[in-house]
Structure 1
Amino acid sequence: MSVSGPRSTLKVASVARGDALVVYAEGDLDATTARLLREELRQVWESSRISVVVIDVAKIMFCDSRGLSELISALQRGQAANVRLILSGVQGVLRRVLTITGLRNVFEQHPTVEEALGSASDAGPRHPPGPEMGGLYEVAGDR
């Protein structure tokens, strides 16, 4: 007997906007689809002219630990390459996952892509607030 269910899907596309790259993600960010986001972001890590990446997650319907791991990896690579990573449109399940894991305040977030790009043009690279320890840290009082 075989059991089948709906397959998870993720659509990923990106658009260059000056020295920024906007990545649009729609669907499920999980173990079977996280590689698509990784492959889309590969162009950022191979380019020296990109200084800001906005990942629009407004249409993400599901995110598991592998999807979250991919976002964390992107943030770490951005920090290492001095590329500012911003999430836009965080809501629903992704907001809950970020809150439960204590990562809500680690990622810079804006409600829309336009607001994220506006914020990026106002200032240079931004690192999350907190102690000067580097990497992914969140102060317990920030929750």
Structure 2
Amino acid sequence: MPSVSGPRSTLSVASAAERDAVVVRLAGDLDAGTVHVLREELKRVWDNPPPVLVLEVGEVAFCDSRGLSELIAALQRGQATNVRLALAGVQGVLARVLTITGLRKVFEQYGTVADALDGTSTPDAGGQGGDHRGDHFGGLFETAGDR
């Protein structure tokens, strides 16, 4: 499990094949000082893209704009290569960041990795229902009334 420590940040990233998917588990701070760890792991995934990529983010304690940009880049790469990208375990700061930026409904979100792999709709960590699929192209940003 690669890990990087900066003056204030640590991010651990681990990948595993599960069924027909790759699950990337993140723990720690996803920020300017650590985002390269996720980027490097995703480069390995994109070398042999699976049909489904699940980012398990339940242990992400902090996410800044650089971290969010990396998540958006992964979503766009998935769309370009027909890889279904889902987030599992969105909660806390990351849930707030996605809501504030209007990106909450852009990402498929599930409460657990198992739900994401099954594509089932169950309550997520925020209690708002598991499957939040947005119109990825025309509706990248939700309106204030959708929050």
Please, what TM-score do these two structures have when normalized by structure 1?
A: 0.83
SS in 2 for 1:37: helix
Is 1:38 the equivalent of 2:42?
no
- Is structure 2 residue 109 aligned with structure 1 residue 137? no
Unaligned runs of 5+ in 2: 1-5, 121-131
Residue number in structure 2 paired with 1:53: 53
* C-alpha distance in 2 between matches for 1:65 and 1:79: 21
The residue aligned with 1:84 is 84
Q: Distance in 2 between the 1:8 and 1:139 partners?
A: 30
1:100 aligns with 2:100: yes
Identity of aligned residues (%): 62
User: Which runs of 5 or more structure 1 residues have no equivalent in the other structure?
Assistant: 121-126
Larger RCO of the pair (alpha carbons < 8 Å, separation 6+):
1
Other-structure match for 2:72 = 72
Give the Cα separation in 2 of the matches to 1:99 and 1:139.
9
TM-score (norm 2): 0.81
SS of the aligned residue for 1:93 comes to helix
2:118 maps to: 118
CA distance in 1, matches of 2:22, 2:138: 22
Residue pair 1:58, 1:90 contacting (<8 A) in 2 also: yes
| CA distance in 2: counterparts of 1:41 and 1:81, whole angstroms | 13
Alpha-carbon offset, residue 138 of structure 1: 3.3
Query: Secondary structure of the residue that 1:15 maps to in structure 2?
Result: strand
Closer/same/farther in 2, CA of residues 136 and 10 from structure 1, 3 Å limit: farther
Between the aligned partners of 2:34 and 2:57, the Cα distance in structure 1 is 14
Contact 1:25 1:56 survives alignment (8 Å): yes
Aligned residues: 131
Which segments of structure 1 move beyond 6 Å, counting only runs of 4 or more? none
Q: Is the 8 A contact 1:88 1:116 kept in 2?
A: yes
